[in-house]
Amino acid sequence: MNPNPANLQPTRFWIALDVPDQKVAEQWMARFPNHKDYKVGMELFYRTGPDVIKKWIGEDGLSIFLDLKLHDIPRTVAAAISQLDELGVSLTTIHLMGGRAMCEAAVQARTQLSIVGVSVLTSLGNDDLTMIGISSNVADQVTRLAAIGRDTGLDGIVLSGQELIVLSPLWPGARFVVPGIRKAPDPSNDQKRVITPEKAVNYGATDLVIGRTLLQAKDPQATYQELTKLLQGGKKS
């Protein structure tokens, strides 16, 4: 059952280029020549810098999700958002724990860039929240942070699939960006809250972020075809 029938956005599949440099990234791009959506995180961005990102967008026609998880005072985050907007990236992330004023500043600074808020990292569980002084459980904390993102005009939220089934009916039309995607037999590694791609799609995910499940697969091409077929089939009732 799809708990969010009002959210009719197609599910987008971002290949997470969690690799050390431009050469390795472009080797993976060459293996999937028809794929246009890639997520670039801190590791790769800090190595390549903005010029490579601009090339991938302008010359290669790629859509780049630049996952920098911005978290600073409102003015600094707003200035960073302006730079990313000018760079031409399609999507970026800010930490909802930065608060309402920071989120509002980010929204006001962008022109075309989509911004989603990071709620609770998928590497954290209830015990981790307790350790850092947060008394609520993960689901409650994600729900609370989602309200900040929704009320300040963000485009959506980054969350694990475990909270997706609860959140998707509460924010119609939002982008629900889900990392921690694992096929059933795959190890979870350092991710504590994972979900299969099938369940994520059925629960209302609009964006799947898939890295190790694809890049570390025994047969990446076969895995890519499986994922593409799943998304072409859409959400199941």
Report the distance separating Cα 228 and Cα 201, nearest Å.
12
Report the distance separating Cα 92 and Cα 223, nearest Å.
26
Q: Name residues whose C-beta falls within 8 Å of residue 9's C-beta, 6 or more positions apart in sequence.
A: 173, 175, 206
C-beta separation of 119 from 193 below 8 A: no
Element (H, E) at 70: strand 63-70
Report the distance separating Cα 155 and Cα 111, nearest Å.
13
Cβ atoms within 10 Å of 115's Cβ, excluding its own: 25
C-beta separation of 35 from 57 below 8 A: no
Report the distance separating Cα 147 and Cα 96, nearest Å.
10
The candidate with the shortest Cα–Cα distance to 185, out of 152, 218, 149, is: 218
Concerning whether 69 is annotated as a catalytic residue, the answer is yes
Report the distance separating Cα 17 and Cα 223, nearest Å.
16
Catalytic residue among 69, 199, 229, 235: 69
Cβ atoms within 10 Å of 233's Cβ, excluding its own: 11
Alpha-carbon dihedral sign for residues 132, 137, 141, 113 = positive
| Catalytic annotation, residues | 69
